[in-house]
Structure 1
């Protein structure tokens, strides 16, 4: 009987998911300082997140295929060391252009994190435990958001935002050394081919993914747009519209991260119980729509209580979607193609991540108000509900629970 992986591996996978977004979460948490220090506009600041995620989107499919071919250790180095390099470049930035280069460097490290961690899970974790593991490891992204929301503002008040970014690079390297010590040898457990994938050509011959993969990618794109538009501009929104301090704005982002950690684990458990992905995605889309409405109302009426409601709903719904999407992908493709399929979904997700901050920044610059941005985010979540309904109907026709 194959020995099951230890909790240390789960921690490594969680960190692998969380370390990549450290730069963008850190920049977001200290956005008022960066905008003032570099003399840039809100749209220019939004372009930093767009650069990160555009870089990730462009490299996602290629890195997804690469993850099916190279060792897990090499992939771990790409994730952690790549993030550390981006953070160091960001720490040295005296001009906006240098910070933009750091953003471009951060993208590929994030792009390969989902394919890498999904491959480790499908090859080293028994099928009944996989959704739970996915839920925990995906919570690393929100753990990173929580860490950045508390770490970057506090350290920035001590040694500046550039000093905080440099210190974060040290954290990334420390996690790399820990991860390399606890990564298991390639001893994959035997797993059956998913029913939906039965009859597909062998991994080297297969070209077309099941339609569900593309529906998952579309859902990831739309939620990604709203997720990062909110994550990037939430601290600035709280400071500008509700009069919060920089530290309290960072705490708002941190609270969203705390709720997100819990929600990702919870949604992962729901998938482990056999809940249909389409059903969960309908619920997530509807809840996300309510969260966007709460944030819009908070700005309109200047009500902090609505802000906290919106933050909680954002964490409970939008931040949990990736768990359901990635667990759904594992059910509709064979193990040999999980990395590639994850890369397709990640491409959609990062395309949304890139679009959200850019559009939010442009709307904010052109109107001077957050209102159009929150409306855009809400429309995206409404479309998510419609996509989930299409996924459900497709699953019913195919006879596969999705």
Structure 2
């Protein structure tokens, strides 16, 4: 298991602790997303173009992908309490550096550092799964992801409103204070866990790559999330440019308001978790990917302008948020069933791929908006989600042969551990 109790008598996670972990996931992950709403303010203050300022968002996501690959495997190797506390303190330092940056270059580098160290949710989720009974893992994963979703979506409201009042630096400095408070809280509240492996660090990194090669279900989950998350990131990165541009001429709080509407999606992930426990992940994935295609079409109504256009943007973003986050619940339920002793390494491979997809989506979203306008962004969202549906349609059938896996000493197959390829 990726987290194991200090003794057999250690109780399962209590509901208050699960809710605290959910809150921690939201506060930590918000650092990756709140720059999306204030990139126009950054551009104005630093004297750069909006497209150039959007590089701050891309750097944060690239840093997050690097942090997932380089740091999350340590969740199988180190005690969670000390690891999580250290990462939060480093995140606090990176946010202070970003909030005091005097140039776009320094801000981009600080954003990459924040992304690198704010990977706490991807350590807490496998830990919580390891301390939860198998029949409740989907529900617990959904609860933690609901907190993560709240952080993603409310972050934009927080930064857009605070940035409009006090300038773009204020969200970074407030986030630094929250990271410090969270570090102290986690140091006191996290359960004592024992590492599941004593592999040296280079072997941990190699294991994540090896698992990606050895596990067909892991690869398929990664492909689903790369495409859906790329669509999600493309839409949100371009939204700030669209809403604050000449078509609407609104301030950054409008982006936050749309995000606040989307926060309703945080109530969908516990439902997705229960559906996954009951019906299997593939059924949930298909609904989510189809919903993401529909979201691309619904977002087109934003071109109408006025109140009708804003309502359409809010509805489309809500649908896209629900689709992306619920799909993640299903994907993580699928991969965590594969290797109980390597959940952090499985999550490393999965989330690294997902955030590389998100980084590519942010870049593509800006390019689509600059070249083709909002219609081009909506088409990009629909195309990416449609590719995910196509991948689901041609998914592998159950494999009966197995292949040895040196990294963990077990075997891999498309249908191992009671998770057939069709699920």
TM-score by length of structure 2 reads 0.83
Q: Which residue of 2 aligns with 1:87?
A: 95
Taking the aligned partners of 2:13 and 2:143, their CA distance within structure 1 comes to: 14
Q: Which residue of 1 aligns with 2:244?
A: 239
When residues 8 and 76 of structure 1 are mapped into structure 2, their CA distance, relative to the original with a 3 A threshold, is farther
Q: Which residue of 1 aligns with 2:148?
A: 141
Q: Using the TM superposition, give the Cα deviation of residue 112 of structure 1 relative to its aligned residue in structure 2, in angstroms.
A: 5.3
When residues 392 and 211 of structure 1 are mapped into structure 2, their CA distance, relative to the original with a 3 A threshold, is closer
Equivalent of 1:349 in 343, 347, 354: 354
Residue deviations 1:329-363, cap 9 Å, x none? 112x2211111111111111110111111111123
Unpaired runs of 5+ residues, structure 2, are 1-8, 197-206, 401-413
Please tell me whether the aligned partners of residues 19 and 83 of structure 1 are also in contact (alpha carbons under 8 angstroms): no
3-state secondary structure, aligned to 2:382: helix
Equivalent of 1:250 in 243, 250, 256: 256
Question: Does the alignment pair 1:385 with 2:396?
Answer: no
Return 53-62 or 100-109, whichever deviates more.
53-62
When residues 32 and 59 of structure 1 are mapped into structure 2, their CA distance, relative to the original with a 3 A threshold, is closer
Return 392-401 or 304-313, whichever deviates more.
392-401
Q: Which residue of 2 aligns with 1:195?
A: none
Q: Which residue of 1 aligns with 2:283?
A: 279
Q: Using the TM superposition, give the Cα deviation of residue 379 of structure 1 relative to its aligned residue in structure 2, in angstroms.
A: 0.7
Q: Using the TM superposition, give the Cα deviation of residue 300 of structure 1 relative to its aligned residue in structure 2, in angstroms.
A: 5.5
Return 144-153 or 86-95, whichever deviates more.
144-153
Residue deviations 1:143-174, cap 9 Å, x none? 11343233223322432221232012101111
3-state secondary structure, aligned to 1:21: helix
Residue deviations 1:66-125, cap 9 Å, x none? 2210110133124422332222111102211111011110222344532x1233123311
Equivalent of 2:42 in 34, 37, 50: 34
Taking the aligned partners of 1:108 and 1:188, their CA distance within structure 2 comes to: 22
Point out which structure has higher relative CO (alpha carbons under 8 A, 6+ apart): 1
Taking the aligned partners of 1:328 and 1:42, their CA distance within structure 2 comes to: 39
The count of corresponding residues between Structure 1 and Structure 2 is 383
TM-score by length of structure 1 reads 0.87
Q: Using the TM superposition, give the Cα deviation of residue 394 of structure 1 relative to its aligned residue in structure 2, in angstroms.
A: 4.6
Q: Which residue of 2 aligns with 1:199?
A: none
| Aligned residues: CA RMSD | 2.6
Extract structure 1 runs of 4+ deviating beyond 6 A: none
Q: Which residue of 2 aligns with 1:198?
A: none
Unpaired runs of 5+ residues, structure 1, are 190-202
Q: Which residue of 1 aligns with 2:313?
A: 307
* Equivalent residue runs for 1:125-136 within 5 Å: 125-136=132-143
